[in-house]
Amino acid sequence: MKEYRLTNEGLQMLQKEYDDLIKIKRKEVAERLKDAKEFGGDLTENPEYEHAKNDQAFIEGRIEQISEILQNYVLVENGEKGTVDMGSVVILKDLDDKKEKKYRIVSSIESDPEKGKISDESPVGRALLNRKIGEVIAVKTPMATKNFEIVDIS
């Protein structure tokens, strides 16, 4: 059985999504299915019914997926102070362009690069784990190897 590492924020996010799917989305799609059936005719030729069935399958699949995670998670918090671990917020300086970037290290479940949340399984995330302020990391990208200095960890 797989164990899912989550930050407290990630756990709360999943619990909220699960509640929303169970209490709201599931009922909405059931109502849409009922309305489409009442429209009558051959259901295989009813696009509203087909769309609602697809949405229902997605919702039920996501409920099952989140349920699995919530039954098998381990809550992780920052490790040793000054060392990068799950939940750490890290400021990196790109040694090529001298720009600073801020990332929060999270599980792949919580990952959202557009919001600065990178997975501990991503190339940058893996390179950062267990590192300290002042250390330089090298991250291979498809185009080149990028070098970053760890400026701050919180």
**112 and 68 share a domain?**
no
Kindly state whether residue 102 falls inside one of the protein's structural domains. Answer: yes
99 pLDDT band, cuts 50/70/90, is: very high
Asked if residue 80 belongs to a domain, the reply is no
Same domain flag for 68 and 23: yes
Last residue of a domain, one of 27, 45, 75: 75
| Max Cα–Cα distance, the chain, nearest Å | 69
* End residue of a domain, out of 75, 98, 131: 75
Strand order in the sheet with 136-140: 117-119, 100-106, 89-94, 145-153, 136-140
CATH code, domain carrying 22: 1.10.287.180
Distance in angstroms (rounded) separating the CA atoms of residues 106 and 103:
9
**Residues 128, 102: one domain?**
yes
Range of the domain at 19: 4-75
User: What is the number of structural domains in the chain?
Assistant: 2
Please tell me the pTM assigned to this model.
Answer: 0.77
Instruction: Tell me the pLDDT tens digit for each residue of 38-88.
Output: 876 666 777 888 999 999 999 999 999 999 999 999 998 766 678 999 889
Residues of the chain with pLDDT > 70: what percent? 95
